[in-house]
Amino acid sequence: MSLYDKVFQHLLVKMDAEQAHHLTYDALRAGGPVLSRAPIPGGRPIRAMGLTFPNRLGLAPGFDKNAQVYDRMGAFGFGHVEIGTVTALAQPGNPKPRLFRLPDDRAIVNRMGFNNDGSAVVAARLARRKKREGGLVLGVNIGKSKVVPDDDQAAVEADYETSTRRLAPHADYLVVNVSSPNTPGLRNLQAVEKLAPLLAHVRRTADEVTVAPLPLLVKIAPDLSDDDVLAVADMALDLGLAGVIATNTTISREGLRTPAAKVEAIGAGGLSGAPLTERSTEVLRLLRGRVGNQLTLIGVGGISTPEEAAARIEAGADLVQAYSALIYGGPMWPRQILKAL
C-alpha cells in the first residue's frame, strides 16, 4: 500500500469530497510557479488533430473548471488538460452536497451542474497563457448555461456562440459538451437533428475568431444506444469534426458493489470511474469501426490501470483521459499509466 493509499483511506475518504478537491486545488495554486515550469515526464509525443501532444494521457474536464491550475498538471505526467465545463454565464451549480465517492467501486457520483466562473472570466485567465513548444496541450470544454431552455435551438446556439467567441482564441482544441446528466435537458441536444446545427454553428463561430482552423470535437454519453453512437459518428464525418470524445458519465447504477441503500441515498448524478470501463470501451470500438482513421478519438471513462489504458488504445483511442482514477490513485498515478502507453 502506497503512502497516498494510506492517506486516502484514513483521511481523505472521511472528508467531504468537494472539500478535499478544494484542498488539492489550493495546494496546486500555491505550487504554481514551480509546477508550471516543470517538464512533462515520460511518454512519447503523438500527432493528432494537427497538434503535437507530449504523450497520450490527458486530464479530463471537471478537475479544473475555471482554468486556474491546468498549467501545473504537466508536472504530474499529463500531456494535455481539458478545462471546464465552461458556460457562457457564470453559475453556482447544484446545491451541496453534490460530489460523492464510492470506494468499493473506485467510482465517483457527481451532480455538480456546471459550476464555473463563466466564459468571460475564464477567457481573461487564458489570455495570460504562455504557450511552450512541445508543452501541455489545452482543450476547452463548453456547455449550455442552465437558464437556457434546451427546446429553444436559437437560444442554445447563441449561448454556445458566446462561449466559443470568448474561449476559442485561447484553446488548442474545443469540445462541445452535450452529454452531462446534471444540466436539465442537456442530453436532449445529443439528438443528431439538434446536435448537427449546433456544431455547425460553433464551427462557423470558431472560424470567425481564430486565425487557423481550431480542432472541434463533441463529447457523448455512454448511455446512447449503439445506433445513436453510429449516427453521431456519421454526423461528425459529415461536418468535418476533428474527433469525438467517448464517454461522459453514466446515469446507470447497474453492477455496483456499493450497497444499494447507500447508492439510493446519494441520489441523482453522473457516475464516473471503474464501472464505466466496459461500456466506454464498447462505444469507442463502435466509433472507430465507423469512422476508420478519419477522426481522432479520445477514450475516457473507467481507465484505472495501465492495462486498461493500453486496452483503450487497442480499441481505437488516439488519446486517453482520466479524472476519477487520479482521485483514487494519487499524484504518481499518471506516471504509472505512461509506462503502459
Please give the pLDDT value at position 4: 67
Q: Distances from the Cα of 145 to the Cαs of 40, 95, 137, 139, 149, in angstroms?
A: 34, 16, 26, 19, 9
Looking at residues 246-260, what average pLDDT do you find?
97
CATH class belonging to 3-340: alpha beta
Looking at residues 158-179, what average pLDDT do you find?
98
Please give the pLDDT value at position 1: 65
Better pLDDT: 132 or 217? 217
Tell whether residue 53 is among the known ligand binding residues.
no
In this structure, what C-alpha cell is assigned to residue 238?
A: 459529415
Give the predicted TM-score (pTM) of the model: 0.96
Please give the pLDDT value at position 25: 84
Per-residue pLDDT band for 30 (boundaries 50, 70, 90) equals: confident
Looking at residues 167-191, what average pLDDT do you find?
95
Per-residue pLDDT band for 62 (boundaries 50, 70, 90) equals: very high
Looking at residues 127-154, what average pLDDT do you find?
93
Answer for the pair 315, 277: CB distance below 8 angstroms, yes or no: no
Looking at residues 64-92, what average pLDDT do you find?
97
Cis peptide before 205 (omega within 30 of 0): no
Residue type, 34: V
Tell whether residue 249 is among the known ligand binding residues.
yes
Please give the pLDDT value at position 178: 96
Query: Among 12-21, 192-201, 322-331, where is mean pLDDT lowest?
Result: 12-21
Distance CA 151, CA 257 (A): 37
Q: Is 180 one of the catalytic residues? A: yes
Tell whether residue 96 is among the known ligand binding residues.
no
Q: Which residues contact 200 (CB under 8 A, 6 or more apart)?
A: 239
Q: What is the DSSP string of 271-289?
A: EEEGGGHHHHHHHHHHHHH
CA–chain centroid gap for 85, Å, is 8
Segments in the chain forming alpha helices (H) = 3-10, 17-30, 32-35, 119-126, 153-167, 192-209, 226-239, 260-266, 277-291, 306-314, 324-329, 333-340
Residue-range domain boundaries for the chain? 3-340
Answer for the pair 86, 163: CB distance below 8 angstroms, yes or no: yes
Looking at residues 66-79, what average pLDDT do you find?
96
Tell whether residue 163 is among the known ligand binding residues.
no
Distance CA 295, CA 274 (A): 26
Tell whether residue 111 is among the known ligand binding residues.
yes
Residue 287 dihedral angles phi and psi, to the nearest 5°: -65, -45
Whole-number mean pLDDT of the chain?
95
Query: Among 163-172, 237-246, 328-337, where is mean pLDDT lowest?
Result: 328-337
Looking at residues 151-155, what average pLDDT do you find?
97
Reduced to 3 states (helix: H, G, I; strand: E, B; else coil), residue 61 is coil
* Catalytic annotation, pick one of 145, 179, 180, 280: 180
In this structure, what C-alpha cell is assigned to residue 241?
A: 469534426
**pLDDT, tens only, 267-308:** 999 999 999 999 999 999 999 999 999 999 999 999 999 999
Q: Cβ of 212: how many Cβ atoms within 10 Å?
A: 7
Residue type, 254: E
**What's the helix, strand, coil split of the chain in %, to 5?**
45, 20, 40
Q: What is the DSSP string of 1-35?
A: --HHHHHHHHTGGGS-HHHHHHHHHHHHHHTHHHH
Residues paired with 51 in a beta bridge: 48
Tell whether residue 113 is among the known ligand binding residues.
yes
The pLDDT of residue 162 is above 80: yes
Please give the pLDDT value at position 339: 86
The pLDDT of residue 95 is above 70: yes
The pLDDT of residue 210 is above 90: yes
Q: Distances from the Cα of 147 to the Cαs of 65, 112, 121, 227, in angstroms?
A: 19, 15, 19, 30
Answer for the pair 98, 181: CB distance below 8 angstroms, yes or no: no
Distance CA 144, CA 67 (A): 18
Please give the pLDDT value at position 10: 61
